[in-house]
Chains A and B, each alone.
Chain A
């Protein structure tokens, strides 16, 4: 592979991978809103 292609692939894929992980991790780390929220699975959690 040429250097310029290698730079493009590393930069682009690195950026996209980092952004995907960053935003998904932020979703997982953000505490859920107090009930009642939009999601059914946590309906047994204490309500506001």
Chain B
């Protein structure tokens, strides 16, 4: 059997960690908000589910979050890190998570994969917007 060669290719160690051991993946039952972004034609699709709760101050927070992703190493890693960044944050704080924050949390992304971080950030925005508009409609 060939010996395992440890090498990182174009990705950082952190990207590989997130890819190999992704957190918060899978379908969520009865989510409060869903964000679906991407397009199978370009090879990346991200679906993000959130549950919204309240913290001690009564602010709305992301109490649970899950993702489902079709895509490359970077797409899966950005999805995972995004969920870790967003979990427990207030909706306001979560809206502020942008591609810069995601990339720096991963220790960098190859230029050709930057769009994955954009995709992840917009999935979260969409999920939150979806929750907000659903709430409005309920009233």
Q: Determine if chain A interacts with chain B.
A: no
Please list the residues of chain A having a beta carbon within 8 angstroms of any beta carbon in chain B.
none
